[in-house]
């Protein structure tokens, strides 16, 4: 049964923090327990002292240790049993099973004039820190920031950085929400990366996972049974408890975490993983509170909150005053699925819901997402709501992301499944549409390094993950289950490391030049930057589409041919000029001439032409 608004109010502050520079205070929520002790560890990882905590209201225990500060390491012992890490820990330098560490937000920030991102002008670059550089750390990525700024990206999105088990993981098995992964560089490294990003004019979003917590190193249940509820179920088992008995403390776990990323790390917002699995039957909904708390913690800076949500649910980005949750954006994968069906021929699993026809591609471009209440063959029920009236920038589109690459059995990128010409055409459509584009690291040079699913679990859990992964793909016709790389094998991880030297090779340099030019146009062409502009999309026969952008009396046409030959006559009264041609040799193509002759556009095979019309 959902709790009242009063019962859902913010719980007392929990965790451990430094007061007055020379003492540490703890507060632990452990209802049902009779005794909670802090066990302090020395440099040799041996326990040096024990501090009994005092019972407080609402099932909490608290205490203070004088003469201590940042760097103190500790665990918590419940009723005299084995000590566990603090589930509200701000640092886990020895991993999710080791002692927790006291940290303070003492970074010397240089971004005092940073105002935050413009939610209507985001160009997002998705990065997995562990595979983005050979070192796999926050600080090792700092030298790459200049490349992103030169490329035309303005927002860096980090896959989850909360502490996860082992050294190798996508991050979605995180268990210590407040503790940046130690192998990435921990709290200090993350602060340095975000500060450096702001110096380059780049916003930073944190991918946050609040719909479930990983199994390995998850000690929440030891402290309270109320962290989870059997009233709701998710693909990961019992749901996180956001609306039943004890939920005020569980909500506080999330809302305090939101505040920490924005306030203490100067993050510019969040990407919420699988928001459809955040089950909350109460009021206000947790999603609305996340948005409210993020903005309040920003202290006047602009922040954005974006949800991954498969439902095509308009309520997510509808303002709170109009009955929505007030998020800034939502991942809308329908365009990705239509394009892969059209250019790569994918048809199994959820791709069976998509035709990839020019008609359906055009409809998706007009609407932002394709499914608006039609029945999904894959799901067996209706999916989606109307997108009418929603501004295009609310929809985050991609042609690749970590899920769509990594959840393929061999982690193969789009470059493995479509021709270079098709890749250029798809990229042109993505980056010149009015929707918010997201790039997956290395996409800008059409990287060929795979991004596989990898883990570093204990042997028992790791065996189950390996077996489950292979069983998941056993029924697909394109491969056999036993061929799927072992997620636990270190080679699976190292094969996923991005090879930056590819960008300098001739076969990749043209694509990089194309991306730079497309993003330059997106940022400077008045038709594309206008906040009062409109757009439309329609078919040009069975195998081509036209995306039309209009503003201030001018028109930009993005003409994309999927296959075969296209001859299209532009309006005879308009003055037409070619702006960009995806098959130009400077972009890696092989066609010297212009596709525009007079007012006739001719395209052969997968390709895209960008034309500007003046009446």
Q: Which residues are annotated as a binding site?
A: 271-276, 333-337, 402-407
Active site residue 273: yes
Question: For residue 306, which of 178, 450, 437, 192 has the smallest C-alpha distance?
Answer: 437
d(CA 445, CA 513): 8
Long-range interactions of 312-315: CB distance < 8 A, separation 24+: 312/369, 312/371, 312/372, 312/383, 312/384, 312/385, 312/387, 313/276, 313/384, 313/385, 314/385, 314/386, 314/387, 314/390, 315/385
Give the closest residue to 484 by CA, choosing from 510, 450, 460.
450
Q: What is the DSSP string of 185-213?
A: THHHHHHHHHHHHHHTT-EEEEEE--S--
Q: Which residues line the annotated binding site for substrate?
A: 271-276, 333-337, 402-407
Residue 354 phi, psi (nearest 5): -125, 140
Write out the two tokens for 425: 């055409």
Q: E strand or H helix at 402, and its extent?
A: helix 402-406
Phi, psi at residue 227, to the nearest 5°?
Answer: -70, -25
Contacts for 249 with CB less than 8 Å, ≥ 6 apart = 11, 14, 29, 58, 224, 226
Alpha helices, DSSP H, located in 450-500: 459-472, 490-494
Gap between the Cα atoms of 224 and 609, Å rounded: 60
Count Cβ atoms below 10 Å from residue 193 Cβ, excluding itself: 26
Up-side HSE of residue 128: CA atoms within 13 Å toward CB? 25
CA atoms of 224 and 6, how far apart (whole Å): 21
Q: What share of the chain is helix, strand, coil (3-state, %, to 5)?
A: 30, 25, 45
Between CA 537 and CA 560 the distance in angstroms is 11
Cβ neighbours of 14 (radius 10 Å): 21
Return phi, psi of residue 67, to 5°: 75, 20
Beta bridge mates, 56: 60
Detail the DSSP E strand segments found in 313-446: 329-331, 375-376, 381-382, 395-398, 436-440
Spot the catalytic one: 176, 308, 346, 525: 308
As a whole number of Å, the end-to-end CA separation of the chain is 62
Give CA–CA dist 253/122, Å, rounded. 29
Paired sense of beta strands 23-29 and 15-19, if any = antiparallel
- Report the alpha-carbon distance of residue 485 to residue 470 in Å, rounded: 8
Catalytic residue among 37, 173, 207, 273: 273
Contact 146, 154 (CB under 8 A): no
Q: Residue 254 is encoded by which pair of tokens?
A: 């999330």
Beta strands 575-581 and 607-614, pairing class: antiparallel
Residue 264: active-site member? no
Q: Catalytic amino acids?
A: 273, 308
């Amino acid at each position: 049964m959902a709790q009242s608004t009063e019962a859902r109010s913010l719980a007392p502050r929990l965790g451990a923090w430094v007061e007055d520079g020379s003492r540490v205070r703890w507060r632990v929520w452990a209802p049902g327990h009779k005794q909670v002790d802090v066990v302090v560890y020395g440099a040799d990882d041996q326990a040096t002292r024990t501090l009994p905590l005092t019972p407080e209201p609402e099932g909490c225990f608290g205490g203070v240790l004088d003469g201590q500060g940042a760097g103190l390491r500790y665990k918590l012992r419940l009723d005299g049993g084995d000590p566990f890490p603090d589930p509200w820990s701000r640092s886990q330098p020895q991993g999710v099973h080791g002692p927790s560490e006291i940290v303070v937000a003492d970074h010397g920030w240089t971004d005092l004039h940073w105002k935050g991102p413009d939610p209507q002008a985001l160009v997002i670059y998705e990065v997995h820190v562990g595979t983005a550089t050979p070192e796999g750390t926050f600080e090792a990525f700092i030298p790459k920031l200049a490349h992103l700024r030169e490329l035309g990206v303005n927002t860096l999105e980090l896959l989850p950085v909360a502490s996860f088990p082992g050294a190798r993981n996508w991050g979605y098995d995180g268990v210590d929400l407040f503790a940046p992964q130690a192998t990435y560089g921990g709290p200090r490294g993350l602060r340095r990366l975000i500060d450096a990003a702001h110096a380059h004019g780049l916003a930073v979003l944190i991918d946050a996972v609040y719909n479930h917590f990983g199994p390995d190193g998850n000690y929440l249940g030891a402290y309270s049974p109320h962290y989870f509820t059997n009233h709701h179920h998710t693909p990961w088992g019992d749901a996180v408890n956001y609306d039943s008995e004890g939920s005020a403390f569980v909500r506080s776990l999330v809302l305090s975490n939101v505040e920490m990323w924005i306030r203490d790390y100067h993050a510019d917002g969040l990407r919420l993983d699988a928001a459809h699995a955040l089950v909350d039957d109460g009021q206000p909904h947790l999603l609305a509170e996340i948005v409210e708390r993020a903005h309040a913690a920003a202290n006047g800076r602009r922040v954005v909150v974006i949800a991954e949500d498969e439902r095509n649910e308009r309520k997510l980005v509808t303002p709170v005053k109009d009955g929505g949750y007030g998020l800034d954006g939502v991942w809308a994968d329908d365009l990705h699925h239509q394009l892969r069906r059209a250019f790569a021929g994918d048809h199994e699993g959820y791709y069976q819901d998509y035709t990839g026809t020019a008609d359906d591609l055009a409809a998706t471009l007009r609407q932002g997402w394709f499914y608006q209440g039609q029945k999904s063959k894959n799901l067996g029920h209706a999916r989606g709501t109307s997108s009418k009236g929603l501004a295009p920038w609310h929809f985050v589109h991609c042609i690749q992301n970590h899920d769509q690459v990594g959840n393929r059995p061999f982690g193969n990128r789009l470059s493995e499944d479509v021709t270079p010409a098709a890749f250029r055409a798809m990229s042109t459509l993505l980056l010149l549409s009015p929707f918010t584009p997201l790039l997956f690291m290395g996409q800008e040079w059409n990287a060929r390094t795979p991004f596989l699913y990898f883990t570093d679990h204990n042997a028992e859990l790791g065996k189950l993950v390996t077996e489950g992964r292979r069983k998941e793909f056993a029924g697909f016709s394109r491969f056999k289950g036993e061929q799927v790389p072992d997620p636990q094998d270190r080679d699976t991880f190292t094969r996923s490391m991005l090879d930056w030297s590819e960008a300098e090779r001739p076969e990749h340099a043209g694509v990089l030049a194309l991306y730079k030019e497309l993003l330059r146009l997106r940022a400077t062409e008045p038709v594309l930057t206008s906040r009062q502009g409109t757009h439309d999309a329609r078919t040009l026969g069975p195998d081509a589409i036209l995306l039309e952008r209009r503003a201030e009396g001018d028109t930009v046409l993005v003409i994309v041919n999927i296959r075969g030959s296209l001859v299209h006559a532009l309006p005879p009264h308009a003055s037409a000029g070619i702006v960009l041609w995806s098959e130009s040799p400077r972009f890696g193509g092989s066609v010297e001439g212009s596709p525009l002759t007079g007012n006739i556009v001719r395209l052969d095979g997968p390709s895209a032409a960008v034309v500007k019309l003046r009446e």
